Structure 1
């Protein structure tokens, strides 16, 4: 088991990978640097190997798929995950690792948004998009994570070995953030400097399509992690719609003793019934979520036991 493992997912980062590996080897000389190549065609893997990294491969395209592979294969007390595009300085890695190893943090977030991100980033709509995602998740999940979509993070062993990776692409960071908040894991923020990609290095992000994926991920996770609120909101909306159409019919009945729009009355009844079904569906699913949280606590205990056994074997 490694003490510290630096995990670098890469896809066509030949312009920057050598510098990234070299910088992290200087900052964390005791760490093992893993570069996971995701079908690069520009020689990223060979450059990383020459720079001193352990190179492995993931052939399913997408950052989420790479993260799944990394988390399954690498054993360490502390994991530092960073992009291979040289936008995150290695100088912050020691502080982030110390928070995991000494303060028992489960996830340490490299906070770009509180420092230089808004001045360094030149990509259109990314600034407003990051702000919107952060505020949305903070409002929906009541958390204090400062940067939801940063690619610079540190993790504990028990986070990595109990995190279910469901996303395939760049929405993986959003999934990590929400998972940590929902499972009451220890999360800390470290303000980091951010520098835009050097000239000649191209971003793999598509602002529109990847932004929509992130929004769909937020909606999906809100439904899965907080079903009572999700289905309760739908139930309230259906009930309001039903009442808006039912009240005029009721007033007419009291005034004239007639029901002139009988089909509307029937639709109102079915809409109200759908509201009741949504409400109770949310309550039932919330009970399942609570049971899943109890099971997750047992998974954490098993992960800690595995970590202790791995240390005993090592020594």
Structure 2
């Protein structure tokens, strides 16, 4: 039985001599693999009779693998060149291997016989890595990192070693065990090191941990990791969304929760088809008989309104509540996140990059908050992401099923908002300049069908407006468009946009996104140019709907591309600095997540348009008043509080100043709800209008005050 001893060495002139001298003369060969040493390691080894070979690829694993290929013996023994392992016990240990009919013998340093042979930090690191090895692979070992191993050379023909660095030691043990070879372990003495250590505990600990996880993943089902990653993302997003899903309608943009929720309640009460699927929020409809009070001009026709359908079905199935009101947009976002995750995997061809980008997207405060806000414009974002993802699936696979789903998604998105149409338009612009020779036929078809299908659903929306309001609907739509697209001084507009971005992205992710923007065009454009539609859509939207983009939610269409740009910056750092780049990325995600959580807390608990006591008062009034007995005062913010009031009261109300000027309306009034006069002169004047008509203040809650008609 021939024994080959392999010793990887890098600048080990202080330890190589004692290492070789301890080895029994009976061994067949001693191979020292010189791994670019700049000292006398190779010279000393040669003088002592060792066979010295060179390995220019720097790394412990590369050196060992070179030795394995050179070895002529039947039994392989590995030692480090620092004099710490007991080379004098090689024959005894080989004998143990043979007598116990083992294929592989691991020489464990633990429990340590010499307490001074290993620093505490390395003891701790070894314990952690050994524990991780046990958990992930079930390998019963006390020392997964030992550099002294004894095994039959035939093992190397049955396993494939990949690591070029420190992880090779654990890889060899694990793959031997998984391949079914007979594995054993004995405790050995371990001596103090001779010479300077080349090991960096943190760096190599992270690298070995990463290697263990990667090795485990290779032995799992190919769908396991994507599914686990996606479940994690869905869990994090759902957890963050839960802070707002069941919240009272009191925070910013919650007026639309009440308004759109009221529209859906009217569908339920009066009949969805009796209302011609139109959005009516000028009053509360108790039943079909209430249809008589509707003036067709009161239908809301500034936008397509089929975004109300998800909430309609949630109301019918689960009842009317804050959570079912927000549930429709939440579910749409969840679906779009799943689509985006797999689309990014196609683009990057890297699960980690896809996971990183999607994680950043769901951590952005705007994604969480407006992903749980029943705002009509926001529905265009998840539907646009679904369309983009289906385009990516079709582009990379050319399967017809994705083509048909892509067209169907245009019907879905186009029926929910005008803003959505910028996505198929952006895809069309991208295809106009696309040079992919493998997509020529499909490209031509899409260049024709995208505008055709978009025009078809656009015309369907116009037809719906005509059925609701006839030609007056077109005039109303034109005025709404001109208002939302009107220009303002650029500098003032830009200041507002920047503030909205700070609110929706947080400063850290925003500025990293700016850096990622430059990296995209300088480094990644050729590889990732297919993400261009996600960049073009918000640009087109902002250019056209100039005024609208200054709303608190006016920058939501930038959320996906900002997440991608931030991710590209972190990927750039990771690809250049590997372990340290990974640590940096994790720190950025952690710090950015904390900043986002604080910004989300501001959205939910501090950026308020009402107080909890205001809503509590509405709930108390619900069974104390009848239809048209309450008048709601005006506000300066341009918010439709009437939707919130009628949603909670389930009663019709009047509005100031009509309730004071119209005799028939005035005589029915019993109560007025106004904003606290202390908020400013406008609200003081509003209070005086009611007082002059015989109303008497009876109390205040948070932002509202109440007056009783005498």
Shorter chain as denominator, the TM-score bin is 0.7 to 0.9
In the superposition, the TM-score normalised over structure 2's length comes to 0.36
- 1:100, CA displacement in angstroms? 3.8
The change in CA–CA distance for 1:122 and 1:108 in structure 2 (over 3 A counts) is closer
Aligned counterpart, 1:210: 204
| Whole-angstrom CA distance in 2 between matches of 1:103 and 1:230 | 39
Aligned counterpart, 2:136: 140
- 1:276, CA displacement in angstroms? 11
Whether the aligned pair in 2 keeps the contact of 1:63 and 1:168 (CA below 8 Å) is: yes
Aligned counterpart, 2:435: none
Aligned counterpart, 2:45: 48
1:55-111 Cα distance to aligned partner (Å, 9 max, x none): 111111111111111111212210100001000112331233124444442221110
Matched, 1:234 2:229: yes
Whether the aligned pair in 2 keeps the contact of 1:35 and 1:53 (CA below 8 Å) is: yes
1:79 alignment partner, SS class: strand
Aligned counterpart, 1:288: none
1:29-54 Cα distance to aligned partner (Å, 9 max, x none): 24311111111121111111111211
- More displaced 10-residue stretch of structure 1: 231-240 or 11-20: 231-240
| Whole-angstrom CA distance in 1 between matches of 2:179 and 2:192 | 33
Aligned Cα RMSD in Å?
Answer: 3.1
| Whole-angstrom CA distance in 1 between matches of 2:51 and 2:203 | 32
| Whole-angstrom CA distance in 1 between matches of 2:339 and 2:96 | 51
Aligned counterpart, 1:164: 160
Say which of 253, 260, 269 aligns to 2:326: 260
Matched, 1:90 2:97: no
Aligned counterpart, 2:686: none
Matched, 1:17 2:81: no
| Whole-angstrom CA distance in 1 between matches of 2:173 and 2:142 | 10
- 1:229, CA displacement in angstroms? 5.7
**Structure 1: which 5+ runs fail to align?**
279-315
In the superposition, the TM-score normalised over structure 1's length comes to 0.76
1:225-258 Cα distance to aligned partner (Å, 9 max, x none): 2347645543553564576559x689x7413075
| Whole-angstrom CA distance in 1 between matches of 2:5 and 2:33 | 11
Whether the aligned pair in 1 keeps the contact of 2:34 and 2:54 (CA below 8 Å) is: yes
| Whole-angstrom CA distance in 1 between matches of 2:337 and 2:161 | 37
Matched, 1:39 2:39: no
- 1:126, CA displacement in angstroms? 0.7
1:190 alignment partner, SS class: strand
Aligned counterpart, 2:119: 123
| Whole-angstrom CA distance in 1 between matches of 2:86 and 2:168 | 21
1:143 alignment partner, SS class: coil
Matched, 1:75 2:72: yes
Whether the aligned pair in 2 keeps the contact of 1:107 and 1:186 (CA below 8 Å) is: yes
- 1:116, CA displacement in angstroms? 2.6
| Whole-angstrom CA distance in 2 between matches of 1:276 and 1:95 | 55
Whether the aligned pair in 2 keeps the contact of 1:121 and 1:127 (CA below 8 Å) is: no
Aligned counterpart, 1:59: 56
| Whole-angstrom CA distance in 2 between matches of 1:183 and 1:148 | 17
Task: Give the number of aligned pairs.
Answer: 273
Q: As a proportion of its length, which structure holds more helix? A: 2
Aligned counterpart, 1:269: 335
Q: After the TM superposition, list the runs of 4 or more consecutive aligned residues in structure 1 that deviate by more than 3 angstroms.
A: 99-104, 121-124, 227-246, 270-278
Q: As a proportion of its length, which structure holds more strand? A: 1
The structure number with the bigger radius of gyration is 2
The change in CA–CA distance for 1:104 and 1:275 in structure 2 (over 3 A counts) is farther
Matched, 1:114 2:111: yes
Say which of 189, 209, 217 aligns to 1:223: 217
| Whole-angstrom CA distance in 1 between matches of 2:93 and 2:225 | 34
The change in CA–CA distance for 1:271 and 1:191 in structure 2 (over 3 A counts) is same
